[in-house]
Amino acid sequence: MKGFLRLAAAVPQTRPGDIAANTASIIATMRIAAGTGASLAVFPELCVTGATCGDLFFRGETASAALKALEEIAKASAAYPSTAFVVGLPMRRNGLLCDCAAVVAGGSVKGVVEKRIAPGDSASRHFSHPAEPFADMVFADDSGELEFSVSFSGCEIPCCAASVVAKLCATPAVADEHLPGIMEDIIDSRRRAAIVVSANAGWGESSSDRVYDGFARIVENGDVIAAAGRFERTPSVAVADADPDAIAYARARGWTCDAPAHAVRIPLGFAAKSAKGRLKRAVDPHPFVPQDPKMLSMRCAEAFSIQTSALATRMEAIGCRNVVVGLSGGLDSALALLVCVEAFAMAKLPKKGIEVLTMPGFGTTRRTKGNAELLAEGLGLGIETVDITESVRAHFRDIGQDESVRDVTYENAQARMRTLVLMDRANQSGGIVVGTGDLSEVALGWCTYNGDHMSMYGVNAGIPKTLVREIVRWYANERAGSHSPAGKALLDILATPVSPELLPAKADGTIAQETEDRVGPYELHDFFLYNFIERGASKRKIADLAAEAFRGKYSKAEVGKWLDVFFRRFMTQQFKRNCSPEGPSALRVSLAPRTGWQMPGDAKFPS
């Protein structure tokens, strides 16, 4: 797929000290890695000799044989003119034995990088720290598509690091402790805004005292996009199509590094090509919602804590003891009310300071109004009904609006009337109006300007709709209890179609106006939003990613239709975001005009 770079982490079979056998295994695994179409294949640390040779490293013939093996490996690379390989071996330099990585491509050795061993490092038992600084190296193909630096396990990624880092590892396995290795890659790739390709020593290394797991992984800016080989007894290759454009975008948005002046750029002698065929990486259709149940529960709990802590902090800062919430019986207002209840408990304030209003209008159904009442009562709160229909009709008469004309004025007048009621009630109690709009609505501008667009603090402004749904589900099951009155109300709210309920209900009393019929599926819009804001993807790349992520669920035509809607609405609705109320950002994606996404209200985006 255009714009993606195929990378591989490869783990061959290793026999300590059997350099001939190791060389044959490396060359065979090179063929497998190159066969995937990878432009770069990274092998484990000291894979030419084995990482567990002990005092055998000190024998002169070991380093000599390793050097001859490197020549053979380099010669074999000529058969794969579009792939660079990085292999680990010991080498003598100025009389010192050094732990090295050799980069080979097109039949020759392009460069050698030595491991920087800190005093006291376990590797210093056999290898020496270079006597003088060596040049930091960036290896680059002829087209500029592939640029990579070399690093080792336990070493800091060099500051001159290119967008891709080849990381050679020889780390023993400990039960339940493979996570530190991958966490190191996750942290390094996020901190340096890089793609880290790691291959760990594995199958065949000595088991005298330690075992090596052969874990191969590729981590892109904190996200694991490929993993393979852990404890496998065959050569294993982890392959993924990485996105250098996303790394360039992340670096442009704030990653800084003072690259050393002596960094050396080394040409590889070939032009890397974009990945071909079906994309080799998992594309998460719901990037805001972790697939793992434990991670999802943790995400919900932490996001909810951010919301509640923010509201409690704001109330304390302004000396406020009262809030007003408009409860519609929908998802967003339900979450906002849950946040208020938790914030009051956190601040040790009496719940009587939470004023809950339900404001039925022309489109309010019995189901949503009933759920609003059940939820408030289940949470131990009172709820007051303020019917806005007659007030809106009086307003229609004032401005000459025909009630039979169901246009934008008909709809927005109801939203503004509700905001008027909430604001005035807040004035009466000396409190603040807590906003209910979520991040997805903020992105699409799906709110009435100076209607539900406005509040005194927007607790949901940093939570996308797909995550709103999961937090409400989490609260119903893990906090309230699914069989409690509040839990039952929340679960029925989850089962209710998302709607502003501004148009009269159907003859059977059900909702006539479903939001996703009008603006499109929120799961698509959240996907578009994440890839546009967080990854800097172009419209074309987002379409390709969505086609992969939602394969079998939405056609390319459907994806294209709603993607057009997303960009049209996102670009034209910035004026609403520029004057939106304050509210906490809970995720990396933020549209807060002060600390998140910033853009003029009349900006244009290429089609």
**Phi, psi values for residue 207, rounded to 5°:** -105, 20
Neighbours of 262 (CB within 10 A): 10
415: number of CA atoms within 13 Å, CB side?
23
Question: Measured between alpha carbons, how far is 433 from 326 in angstroms, rounded to an integer?
Answer: 8
Mean local confidence (pLDDT), 299-312: 98
**Is the pTM here over 0.85, yes or no?**
yes
Encoded amino acid at 347, one letter: A
Mean local confidence (pLDDT), 494-499: 95
**Phi, psi values for residue 70, rounded to 5°:** -60, -40
Pinpoint the alpha helices (H) of 142-214.
178-192
Helix (H) or strand (E) holding 197: strand 195-200
511 within 8 A of 501, measured Cβ to Cβ: yes
Whether residue 403 is predicted with pLDDT greater than 90 in this model: the reply is: yes
Question: Measured between alpha carbons, how far is 8 from 81 in angstroms, rounded to an integer?
Answer: 16
- Higher-confidence residue of 258 and 35: namely 35
419 within 8 A of 451, measured Cβ to Cβ: yes
473: number of CA atoms within 13 Å, CB side?
14
Of the pLDDT bands very low, low, confident and very high (cuts 50, 70, 90), residue 437 is very high
Question: Measured between alpha carbons, how far is 134 from 297 in angstroms, rounded to an integer?
Answer: 47
- Residues near 479 by Cβ (< 8 Å), separated by ≥ 6? none
- Residues near 136 by Cβ (< 8 Å), separated by ≥ 6? 149, 158, 159, 160, 259, 260, 262, 263, 264
Question: Measured between alpha carbons, how far is 163 from 247 in angstroms, rounded to an integer?
Answer: 6
Question: Measured between alpha carbons, how far is 581 from 461 in angstroms, rounded to an integer?
Answer: 9
470 within 8 A of 464, measured Cβ to Cβ: no
In sign, the C-alpha dihedral spanning 563, 565, 568, 574 is negative
Over residues 360-378, the pLDDT tens digits come to 999 999 999 999 999 999 9
- Residues near 382 by Cβ (< 8 Å), separated by ≥ 6? 352, 356, 376
- In order of start, what are the domains of the chain with their CATH numbers? 7-267 (3.60.110.10), 295-516 (3.40.50.620)
Over residues 532-584, the pLDDT tens digits come to 999 999 999 999 999 999 999 999 999 999 999 999 999 999 999 999 999 99
The burial of 144, by beta-carbon neighbours within 10 Å (0-12 exposed, 13-18 middle, 19 or more buried), is given as exposed
What percent of the chain lies above the pLDDT cut of 90?
74
Mean local confidence (pLDDT), 308-313: 98
Question: What mean pLDDT is reported for the chain?
Answer: 91
Question: Measured between alpha carbons, how far is 270 from 350 in angstroms, rounded to an integer?
Answer: 70
570: number of CA atoms within 13 Å, CB side?
24
What pLDDT was estimated at residue 184? Answer: 83
Token pair 């040779």 is found at 53
- Residues near 351 by Cβ (< 8 Å), separated by ≥ 6? 341, 344, 379, 380, 381
Of 475, 560, 38, whose CA–CA distance to 281 is shortest? 38
- Residues near 104 by Cβ (< 8 Å), separated by ≥ 6? 70, 73, 74, 77, 84, 85, 86, 87, 110
Of 488, 492, 516, whose CA–CA distance to 368 is shortest? 492
Over residues 75-121, the pLDDT tens digits come to 999 999 999 999 999 998 777 788 999 999 999 999 999 886 544 44
Mean local confidence (pLDDT), 404-426: 97
Of 294, 166, 151, 171, whose CA–CA distance to 230 is shortest? 171
| 579: DSSP letter | T
